A and B are shown apart, each in its own frame.
Chain A
Amino acid sequence: MSYPEAMPEPEIVQRLVQGDERLFTCVVERYHRVMLGVAGHFTANRALAEEIVQETWMAVITGLPRFEGRSSLKGWIFAILANRSRTRASREARTLPTSAMGDRDNPEARLDAVDAARFDGRGMWAQPPRPWEADTPEAVVGNAELLDLVQRAIEELPPRQRAVLVLRDVEHLDSEEACKLLDLSEGNQRVLLHRARSAVRTALESHLGRS
């Protein structure tokens, strides 16, 4: 059983409150990895990110009877997660030397969307993009090898790029919602999104570009 996207949220919430275990597992499967990605935006410590997500699930389970549906279930879960991540990550920042935090992926850092070697001295294409051997996005995700390629490309992104890409492009949050959850300015969010999308495009090109 996969997540019942078509089921009205009040019904999902009611079933969870009544203890529907199968549905709970579906909800976990649906959101757990996304939540890890969001937590990874706030902390480089993987174990801490896992802990934050676990705690968030507990808060979700115990808070469900009070969930009133003023926001979507997804928005509510993400808000709990972001709050917890902020609290835990700032506590961690106080106990760690600043060097341990690192400048993991500064959005201002200069990174090319396309390898500079593909342009000539005037900045025009020397090796232009080749047409792709795929008719539709559905055909790409329907192909196990290509889907794996895309999912690996997402996993390999720097954590802050991954968090933005997943919220914006995979979960379809708008830029305002993503900025609020991740404490980003609109501009920085856009730079991270640009880097992330460009990296996934490059990964797709390696398989779809006709040689």
Chain B
Amino acid sequence: MLTCRELTELVTDYVEGRMSLWDRVRFSLHVGMCPHCRAYVRQMQFTRDVLGRTPPLSLPEDVKAELLERFKDWMRDPTRATPDGEPRES
């Protein structure tokens, strides 16, 4: 019988579908009987769903400004590719 502690280490294998049939059966049996582990698996899935909705972290203004300058420089570069030409190889 799988212990609760073992189950907490197998959750990702389970969610990722990387388990042998036998381990899947043991995992499912345990989760079916153990409300605490059911809650745990739900929290791990909830965590993944939260991560999937986090917006990008903000960037320091100086980083943005510097990259924008480089972008403008390149746009002003007379040797830059024209839309139908080949870009210059550096």
Contact = CB atoms under 8 A, between A and B. Distances in A.
Interface of A: 3, 17, 19, 21, 24-25, 28-34, 54, 57-58, 61-63, 65-66, 112-114, 116, 119, 122-125, 128-129, 131-132, 134, 137-138, 140-141, 147, 150-151, 154-155, 165, 169-170, 172, 175, 186, 190, 193-194, 197-198, 200-201, 204-205
A123 B54 CA distance: 34
A57 B64 CA distance: 11
Given A24-B67, A119-B5, A129-B39, 11 more contacts: A3-B56, A58-B74, A63-B87, A112-B9, A119-B3, A123-B3, A141-B50, A141-B53, A155-B57, A194-B12, A197-B44
A128 B41 CA distance: 12
B9 A32 contact: no
Contacts of A147: 54-55
Given A57-B67, A204-B43, A30 B50 contact: no
A150 B54 contact: yes
Interface of B: 3-6, 8-9, 11-13, 16, 18, 34, 36-37, 39-40, 43-44, 46-59, 63-64, 67-68, 70-72, 74-75, 81, 83, 87, 90
A189 to B, nearest CB: 9
A169 B46 CA distance: 11
22 contacts: A25-B68, A29-B56, A30-B56, A33-B57, A33-B59, A58-B70, A123-B5, A125-B37, A132-B46, A141-B50, A150-B51, A154-B51, A155-B57, A169-B52, A170-B52, A172-B52, A190-B16, A190-B18, A193-B16, A194-B13, A197-B48, A197-B51
A204 B71 contact: no
A129 B43 contact: yes
B47 A204 contact: yes
A61 B68 CA distance: 10
Q: Is the interface of B mostly helix, strand, loop or mixed?
A: helix
A160 to B, nearest CB: 15
Given A61-B74, A123-B6, A125-B36, A32 B87 contact: no
Nearest to A61: B74
B11 to A, nearest CB: 7
B64 A28 contact: yes
A58 B4 CA distance: 50
Contact of A17 (B6, B9, B83): B83
A101 to B, nearest CB: 27
Contact of B4 (A28, A65, A125, A151): A125
Contact of B70 (A57, A119, A129, A138): A57
A193 B8 CA distance: 13
Given A29-B59, A113-B11, A194-B9, A62 B48 contact: no
